Amino acid sequence: MRMAWDIEHDTDMTQVDGVSKLVVESALGEFKDKCYHGVSPLALKTHDITTALVKRGYPLEPMPYDTWMTKVKSVASSAMKPLLDTFAALPIHETAGQIMRFSSDQPHLNGSGEDQLERMLDWMIERKYMPKPSAAAGSLPLPAAPKPTFVEMPAQMPAAAAATGSPSGGAHNAGIIQMELYTPNHFVEQSDMEVFHNCPGKYTAGLLQNQIGFCGDDEDSVSMALTVVDRLMKKCAAAGIGYDKIGRIEVGTESLLDRSKSIKTHLMSLFEEHGCRDISGVDNYNACYGGTAAFLNSLDWLQSPSWKSDGRYAIVVCVDIADLNAEQSFLNGASAVAILLGPDAPVVVEPERASCMLNTWDFYKPVGWKDSYPLMRDGKHSIDCYMQCLDECYQKLGDRIYGEDDPQRANKLVKDNAYFVNHCTSTYLCKRAFKRTCENGYPKESGGLRLREQQQLYVEKAEPSTWITKRVGSSYTASCYTNLFCLFSTEQQKMVGKSLCVFSYGSGSASTMYRLRVDALPKMDMNIMARLDKRVKHEPSTYIEMIHAYSTSSYGRFGFKPKDWGGKESGVHYLTEVDEWGKRSYERSKI
């Protein structure tokens, strides 16, 4: 018939094999004292299904549901008509835009819902239940993306809804749709740095770091932000989310290049090329917390009533280049993460969150100081501030999720979340932060956890987020989201149907803990490790020379053109000149 109805609703992807397994296990008496829900946690939207068919070469004409049903009835066999009458009597129109949210006692097996749909189509074509496509695969224009979903709230919000923090007219199930990560194409081995600094084992066995990613004076926080957003938008545009669909961009960084002009204004050059200027948001800075401030601000915008009249997506950019002096250069690193936020997201941000804000001087960068390097005069004090914030966020978040009267709320946060993502300046700090999380969940006075149990939990719940940090080093405000990107790329389908806890910290001090629910994976490059393998390796002496060039190019130096350090990549933005007035110019490489 070559027709598709125009109602955007969810189709659940419950697998017969999964239900059968659950039934058999129940019959064998392996389940007790509970009602089990045998349904897949995954669902596909109408647009997902029609897009999959069109990609294969099946032309589909969208039409109103009632028209579609009338045409189907006209060609259906007599055996099908009673079933079609049942469907026709259902209030299908009311399901438009609604999201299926099931608690489930069975995992979705063998890949995503899209993977299952492709297997089903292959099976039906092979057995001739479906005709072969009439057009070549990939030759037909894809269906237009549906309009974003709005949540209509009653004129007076019920007290129960207000108490649970339900959104009032904002995006439904707002969260992460797509992610992109960029790190410079240069690295040095930490084992070589140990030889260079004559401190064997300090950086590898001590800090659990393998490499440092870095740049010279031809890259900075602006060029990296341009690169990561450029890459994200090219992929979004190819998927039907054009430049005109972005309504907000917020940047988090502490690698400031100007005390007035924001990095976000530089990013507008990418959108002005497409005639787009109506995009709100600017920069956020507070040490390593700026990225989370940008993330939560953008999320709050999506969930606000004002979003209803806008309906577009938001982009959050977390970008930093950790820049310390030669003696402390083992703590350097660099990365940028761009996150597309929007409605009906595969990764949903849960409503509860907890913050801890303090007035501390553990790490700071005074204006007019003799150089660009941060002041951290007491490393132990800095760690103490981090742990105090983690303690308070953990306790408050548990109270808000489970209630202060629940005696088990402390360990529930560890038990109920499959993964933990922490801000860190090294992999060792991630490990130490998770140890503190376990101590909050299982206090010593209540018996605590044995060391072996705690280490096993770290391997399962926290270590999978650290593999990129091991290879790029500290990236300040981008580190938390570099770790989140790493977790998705490492665990992939294991994460679907589970939740994770994120702790973000910035010196000074600012911190927040919140949770994400993974209904499906975000769109992103899952082969990030292969990209890291292709970077250019440098000796420690060259590394020190390059980071010194970067430091002087970003602080008090004007009227110069950067050195060409080699290793340039096509499509990456590079700094080309800083004029005598401090105006910085950038170009996209066409190598």
Among residues 189, 194, 219, 254, which one is catalytic?
Answer: 254
The Cβ of residue 486 has, within 10 Å, a number of other Cβ atoms equal to 23
Q: Could you tell me where the beta strands, DSSP code E, fall in 292-407? A: 313-322, 333-342, 347-357
The Cβ of residue 543 has, within 10 Å, a number of other Cβ atoms equal to 24
Rg (CA), the chain: 26
Residue 134: is the preceding peptide bond cis (ω within 30°)? no
Strand pairing report for 573-578 and 584-588: antiparallel
In whole angstroms, give the CA distance from residue 520 to residue 54. Answer: 22
| Residue 577 annotated to the active site | no
Tell me the HSE value of 429 on the side-chain side, using a 13 A CA sphere. Answer: 26
Q: How far apart are the first and last CA of the chain?
A: 48
Among residues 8, 9, 250, 288, which one is catalytic?
Answer: 288
| Residue 8 annotated to the active site | no
Report yes or no: 473 and 282 within 8 Å, Cβ to Cβ: no
Tell me the HSE value of 245 on the side-chain side, using a 13 A CA sphere. Answer: 19
Among residues 9, 186, 423, 573, which one is catalytic?
Answer: 423
| Residue 254 annotated to the active site | yes
The Cβ of residue 369 has, within 10 Å, a number of other Cβ atoms equal to 12
Alpha-carbon distances, residue 386 vs 299, 421, 423, 508 (angstroms): 24, 14, 10, 10
Contacts of 89 (CB under 8 A, 6+ apart): none
Which are the catalytic amino acids?
A: 254, 288, 423
